[in-house]
Structure formats: structure tokens, C-alpha cells
Structure 1
Amino acid sequence: MRIGITGGIGSGKSYVCARLEALGIKVYDCDSAAKRIISSSDEIKERLTELIGPDTYKDGKLNKAAVASFLLASESNAQAIDAIVHPAVAVDFENSGIEWMECAILYESGFDRLVDKVIAVTAPDSVRVKRVMERDGITCGKVREWMARQLPQETVIARADYEIINDGTHDVDRQINELINKLK
């Protein structure tokens, strides 16, 4: 059975995945995989360079400023990049043999079709904002801007099969253990 783990920025997905890893459950990280593929796949490098332009890579390394500028210029630009990167990540996951996947944009990317069950990691907006401000050193306004670009937490919860509440008061380890028992 393949399990997807998702949740908005600052919800604590990475923390939950670290707890799963501590229990011996390997979790495929879509963000890390995308970065690896963008940096190592000659085909992806070529396609991104054709799309974005000759400044996409400098000395073989991704030029994040050029990519970000292109990406933020329009929604269609973001979709064009996603159309190149997402299928490569999906294939990589399917070939990985790993059953658990962490993906912040599970529904937006269509990766929910790659898993049998979905776990939403959630926390109140105020907790999420505080976590991201502390982690990334950015303003409350910037965090809220990022949050506004993601699916509303209520939508993610409604579409998921399970929820892990990671608000700092609920026992995350207990919730994970109960969930693992349900999935067996």
C-alpha cells in the first residue's frame, strides 16, 4: 500500500516523516527528489533550458534566480515547469520501491493518483505562521502569502483519508502509531 503525506507550509510534514523514519519507515521526499532530478537529469536540464532560456544553468548548476524570475512571472510559466518536473518525479517515485511519499503539493501535482491513502498533517494557522517565521526568518505577511498559494487546509483535510494534528499539544507519536496499526 502506498501512502501520501501532505499538508500546508509549516504544518510539520517533515517532522512527522522524521518520526516515521525513526520507526524504520522510509519516506520518499518529493522536494528533494525534484531538486536531485533538476540537477542531475540531462533531459530535464535540456528541457528546462529550452523553456526558460540559456541562463537556466550556470556552470552546470541550477540558476535559482533565473528560474524563480521565470516561475513567478506567470501562472502559465509555473505550469510549464511543473509539466517538465512533475512527471519525472512521479516516475522516480514509482521506480523507488518506497511506499510512503511526502509531497506538499500532493493534490495540485496529481500525485494523489500515485498513492492508495493520504495523510494530512495539520496545525492551526497561527502555529504554522510562527513555525515558518522562525524557520525561514521571514515576515508574517510573507508566510501568509505562501499559505494563500496553497490549497486551504480544510480542503486538504476533506480530501485526505487520515489526519495527524501537529499543533504542539497533541501527541504526534501516539497518532502515528495508531495510524500505522490502522494501515496494517
Structure 2
Amino acid sequence: MKIGVTGGIGSGKSIVCKVFACLNIPVYDADTRAKWLTNHDPEIRRAIQELLGPDSYTESGVYNRSYVSSLVFKNPDLLKKLNEIIHPAVGKDTDDWMGKHSDAPYVIKEAAIMNKAGANNNLDFVIVVKAPVDLRLKRIKVRDETRSEDEIRAIIERQVSDEERDSIADFTIDNDENAALIPQVLKLHQLFLEKSTE
């Protein structure tokens, strides 16, 4: 069984995934793998340089994230073309990884961008991790001191809305520092173990 975990920046989806990992559930971090692939996959590198020019990689050959961001975030068409290079490669990488973990009762795919389960993906269920925007802002400021509040708000505004995320959720986890997080994860873990044996 394949479970997606998503949520806005600062919602705590990575913490949720760490709890699942502590329960010996394999976790695929799509964003980290996407970064790795853009730096190490020669086909992706060639396609990105064709799309965005040689400055999309530094002289030492590292993906120039800040330069690429400065181009694509004000140009939705360019962002779409960049995603059309990276997303299929991450999709294939995910499938390969899931194949290697087929002995697990279920696996988790963590990603910032996700469709509803079964909509152009091979996910069985999607968990959305939720937290109020003010709390998310506070967490990101602590985590990334170089970003201003305006920058963080701009990132949140560019991401899909909470309403859009709610529409794809089979399950939600509240990470608002009022509801205890671990019991919510344990409850879902138990449910997924039961479903994996049906």
C-alpha cells in the first residue's frame, strides 16, 4: 500500500514522516530526491540547461537553485516546463524505490505537491498535515533565519491553498501544537496495517 503525505511549508509533514520512519515504515522524500536528481542525473541537467541556460548550474556543476528560482517564479510557463523535466524523473525514481520496498506493509511518499490518490499517481491514500499559517511562519523563521517574513508569506501564497489540499485529503493530521501529534500518527499506522492485510 502506498500512502502520500503532504502539507504546506512549515506544516510539519517531515516530522510526521519521521514518526512513521520510527515505526519502521519506509519513507520516500520526493523533494530531497528531486534535489539529488537535478544534481546527479545527466539527462535532467542537459534538459534544464537547454531550457534555462548554462547559468542554471554553477561552475562547479551544482544546481543553481537561487538563479533558477529567480527565473521561474515570475514565469509560470517556464515553471511548468521545468516541472515537466523534473516530475517524471521523480515519478520513475519513486516507482523504482517503491519496488525495492515491496516487502513493507506500506510505504510513505512525502511531497509538497501531490494529487488526490489515484489521480495520475499510484497512491492509495493521501494524508494532509495541517497547521495555522501564523504557526507555520514561526516555525520557518526558526528553521531558516535567512528568510524574511515577506519571503515566507510569498512562498505560502505560491503553494496550493489549504482548501485545495483539504480536497485531496483522505486523512488529516493536525499539527497545531494543541492536538498531540504521535497518537494521530499511531492511529493511522494501525489502520494502514489492518488495511494492508485485507
**Shared fold by TM > 0.5?**
yes
- Provide the aligned C-alpha RMSD in A: 1.8
Give the alignment's TM-score, normalised by structure 2: 0.86
Letter in 2 for 1:32: T
For residue 73 of structure 1, report the CA deviation from its aligned partner.
3.6
Letter in 1 for 2:35: K
Say if 2:173 is the partner of 1:172.
no
- Is the 8 Å Cα contact of residues 17 and 108 (structure 2) preserved in structure 1? no
2:89 counterpart residue number:
88
Q: Counterpart of 1:88 in 2: which secondary structure?
A: helix
Q: Distance in 2 between matches of 1:19 and 1:53?
A: 41
**2:115 pairs with one of 85, 107, 119:** 107
Gaps of 5+ in 1: none
Matches within 5 A, 1:117-132: 117-132=125-140
Q: Distance in 2 between matches of 1:67 and 1:34?
A: 14
Note closer, same or farther for the CA distance 1:147–1:83 as it changes in structure 2 (3 Å cut).
same
Q: Counterpart of 1:120 in 2: which secondary structure?
A: strand
For residue 112 of structure 1, report the CA deviation from its aligned partner.
6.2
Q: Percent identity?
A: 36
1:35 counterpart residue number:
35
Give the alignment's TM-score, normalised by structure 1: 0.92
Consecutive aligned runs of 4 or more in structure 1 exceeding 3 Å deviation = none
Say if 2:141 is the partner of 1:133.
yes
Say if 2:161 is the partner of 1:160.
no
2:52 counterpart residue number:
52
Which deviations, in whole Å up to 9, do the C-alpha atoms of 1:40-74 show, x marking residues without a partner? 11111111111111222222221223322222240
Q: Counterpart of 1:5 in 2: which secondary structure?
A: strand
- Is the 8 Å Cα contact of residues 71 and 77 (structure 1) preserved in structure 2? yes
Q: Distance in 1 between matches of 2:114 and 2:15?
A: 17
Q: Counterpart of 2:126 in 1: which secondary structure?
A: strand
Q: Counterpart of 1:9 in 2: which secondary structure?
A: coil
2:66 counterpart residue number:
65
Q: Distance in 1 between matches of 2:150 and 2:61?
A: 35
Q: Distance in 2 between matches of 1:55 and 1:140?
A: 28
For residue 132 of structure 1, report the CA deviation from its aligned partner.
1.1
* Structure number having the greater helix percentage: 1
- Is the 8 Å Cα contact of residues 6 and 121 (structure 1) preserved in structure 2? yes
Q: Distance in 1 between matches of 2:151 and 2:62?
A: 27
Q: Counterpart of 2:85 in 1: which secondary structure?
A: helix
- Is the 8 Å Cα contact of residues 90 and 111 (structure 1) preserved in structure 2? no
2:17 counterpart residue number:
17
Letter in 2 for 1:114: N
Note closer, same or farther for the CA distance 1:32–1:148 as it changes in structure 2 (3 Å cut).
same
